[in-house]
Amino acid sequence: MVDIEELKAEFLNLEFDTKEFSLDADKVVTVAKMSGETLPEFTDPNHPDFQAPPAYIASLAAGRHLPIKFPKLGGIPMDGGKAVTTIHPVRVGEPLTGRTHLHDIYHKTGRSGRMIFVVSRMQIFDASGTHVATSDSRMVVREKPAT
């Protein structure tokens, strides 16, 4: 059985990935419309406040999902959901940098056994170093029972 507290002590809040992003206006508009956005600041590249919607920000992915030495947790990892917080508008055409660390590790026990949740947090910064958004990705792994 994996010791969650040991994982937290070793891996939480240590940056393990940095990735550069450049947003394409056409792709931003497509994602905005496909996710049901109707506001012109998300769907019209000519709008003076044109910016990426949260659905697009959620699609930005780090180069690595876990730190290099993170142990295998057992079963097949599953997507446990995403959450995006925008702090400032995420502008199209401006270079962005995503810095990723593990934000939380926790478990829940259900009928099928213990499930381990790993929350990977990417903080996104603009060219001036301003923190513009945060994207959390949850991975869920059903721990293999001890034999």
- Show me where the domains of the chain are located: 4-142
What pTM does this model have?
0.89
For domain 4-142, the CATH class is alpha beta
pLDDT tens-digit profile of 14-26? Answer: 999 999 999 999 9
Whether pLDDT at 146 is above 70: no
Residue with token string 């513009």: 132
107 pLDDT more than 70:
yes
Q: What is the pLDDT of residues 24-82, one digit of tens each?
A: 999 999 999 999 999 999 999 999 999 999 999 999 998 888 999 999 887 888 999 99
pLDDT tens for each residue of 120-142? 999 999 999 999 999 999 999 98
